Structure 1
Amino acid sequence: MPKIEQLIIQNDFYHVFQPIYSFPGKRVLGYEALIRSKSNMVPDMLFQHAMEQNKLFEMDSFSILQAISTYFGTQRSSELRVLFINIFPSTLVSPLFIGFLETLAIQYEPYRTQIVFEINESIIEGVLWKSASFRDAIRMMRELNFLIAFDDVGEGTASFRNILDISPDFIKIDRFFSADLCTTEKKQKVVALFVEYCRDESGLILEGIENEEDLAVALSLGIKMGQGYLLGKPNPLT
């Protein structure tokens, strides 16, 4: 099993960026940063190793910082869009997080309102959503003008109560609901429910769009933002 700290020192990691589009007009709203390993370690396995080695905060915070520096250091100011970055609940509740966030806010002060933290819905970490330190971290992110998204909604632990309590800026519906959306009436009803709720609350993004038929039905249901291989695959910045 590779040591996470050693992989960080060896600069084994880089990020690719997948576009998120808004409709109508298929305009790029922003990009989601996705970590990759030069040694071809699958991201899920990478974070699993980090968790087993008690280095998840180090791995997650490194990934966040690298994604932000890569994105805002590469893009011209006229081309900048919103950047979505995944973050684990355990990172939010770490005693080191507030200091990390404050440093990040100083270093990237002009871009705070263009940085969206996607809270990862690890079932293992579901209990952390109820902790005081989790809510303190959310409050600090708000005060520093960072944006918040719930990731994979419908697949993990983000209940409607969490959505109501925190009021995220964006809700990303899990790819389960986009798969065969055009032929599955129950999925259409759930997507329509989210569309109605988010109309005046949060930006709603449907993940995992992979064919034209499902996209057409999503648009007919009122989906205004989407992500998936049909729209654009993850790629390094050019």
Structure 2
Amino acid sequence: MESIAKLFQKEEYYHAFQPICDLPGKNRLGYEALLRSKQAVNPEALFQTAKEKNELLELDTRSLQYALLSFFQSPDRCTNELLFVNIFPSTIVEDSFPAFIQGIARDFKPYLNQIVLEINESIMEGKVWNEPVFLERIDELRKAGILIALDDVGEGTTTFRKILEIAPDYIKIDRFFSQNLSESLEKQKVVRLLVEYCKDGAQLILEGVEEEEDFACAASLGVAIGQGYLFGKPGSLLGE
């Protein structure tokens, strides 16, 4: 079977890029890199298979490396745009991770303050969040100039304690809250609470925005940034 590195080199594995835009102007701030397979394998299944084969660390780090290469070497991006890339907590606590990040910091030195690592939630990895080394590594990433985002807040195992401990630069609200947001007073209460929390710290991103009325509602609640099909579907940078 071919190595993960070979699959990236042959572009069997590649990245699609989805725009992230400000509200209410819809100006593009950056993109999220989303791992894809030419075999049309569900990305979650891809990572699950890698985990079962003890290849999750390699897939996660290779994916990050190739996403950065694809984005920052592209002539089709604006020079000040951010790149959001997912990473698993289990990767962050690996012994080899500091050396890997040193290499990233060396190879992408001009762009470090444009790299946002989205910490991926996973029930399977819940214990990792509580390991002392996890917060130490987050601190090391910050010292390198890399930004931190918490992904899918409100959907998985993220608690306010984790938000306080990690103090992310970006908080991404799960798409559940954007769906029919304009019709749900309960969802609006939660979004308004997070908007208030983020006033003096993290920037809030609402995921899964698809309808104009939900976009307008989010903007009226004070959400600063959005992501979803309303702003653009995942694709190539050239296609945007």
d(CA) in 2 for partners of 1:92 and 1:109?
20
Counterpart residue number, 1:177: 177
CA contact (8 A) 1:4 1:50 kept: no
Superposed CA deviations along residues 211-235 of structure 1, whole A, max 9, x for unmatched, are 0111111111111100000111111
CA contact (8 A) 1:4 1:55 kept: no
Counterpart residue number, 1:136: 136
Deviation, structure 1 residue 199: 0.8
**Aligned pair in 2 of structure 1 residues 11, 77: CA closer, same or farther (>3 Å)?**
closer
Q: Which runs of no fewer than 5 residues in structure 1 stay unpaired?
A: none
Partner of 1:74: helix, strand, or coil? Answer: coil
2:199 counterpart letter in structure 1 = R
Q: State the TM-score, normalizing by the size of structure 2.
A: 0.94
Q: State the TM-score, normalizing by the size of structure 1.
A: 0.95
Partner of 1:199: helix, strand, or coil? Answer: helix
d(CA) in 2 for partners of 1:23 and 1:184?
20
d(CA) in 2 for partners of 1:75 and 1:220?
35
d(CA) in 2 for partners of 1:4 and 1:135?
31
**Aligned pair in 2 of structure 1 residues 196, 106: CA closer, same or farther (>3 Å)?**
same
1:89 counterpart letter in structure 2 = P
Write out aligned runs for 1:8-47 (5 A). 8=8, 10-47=10-47
Superposed CA deviations along residues 14-66 of structure 1, whole A, max 9, x for unmatched, are 11110000123221111000011012111011001001001100000000000
d(CA) in 2 for partners of 1:59 and 1:176?
28
Superposed CA deviations along residues 92-135 of structure 1, whole A, max 9, x for unmatched, are 01111111001000000000000000000111111101102211
d(CA) in 2 for partners of 1:75 and 1:84?
18
**Aligned pair in 2 of structure 1 residues 94, 235: CA closer, same or farther (>3 Å)?**
same
d(CA) in 1 for partners of 2:184 and 2:237?
36
Q: What is the aligned-residue RMSD (CA, Å)?
A: 1.5
Counterpart residue number, 1:67: 67
Deviation, structure 1 residue 146: 0.2
d(CA) in 1 for partners of 2:23 and 2:231?
11
d(CA) in 1 for partners of 2:36 and 2:76?
23
Deviation, structure 1 residue 162: 0.9
Number of residues of Structure 1 aligned to a counterpart in Structure 2:
237
CA contact (8 A) 2:182 2:213 kept: yes
List 4+ stretches of structure 1 deviating above 6 A: none
d(CA) in 1 for partners of 2:173 and 2:115?
19
Superposed CA deviations along residues 135-158 of structure 1, whole A, max 9, x for unmatched, are 121011011010000000001111
Q: Which runs of no fewer than 5 residues in structure 2 stay unpaired?
A: none
d(CA) in 1 for partners of 2:11 and 2:230?
31
Identity %: 51
CA contact (8 A) 2:172 2:206 kept: yes
Superposed CA deviations along residues 69-91 of structure 1, whole A, max 9, x for unmatched, are 00000036754400000000011
d(CA) in 2 for partners of 1:65 and 1:166?
23
d(CA) in 2 for partners of 1:131 and 1:64?
23
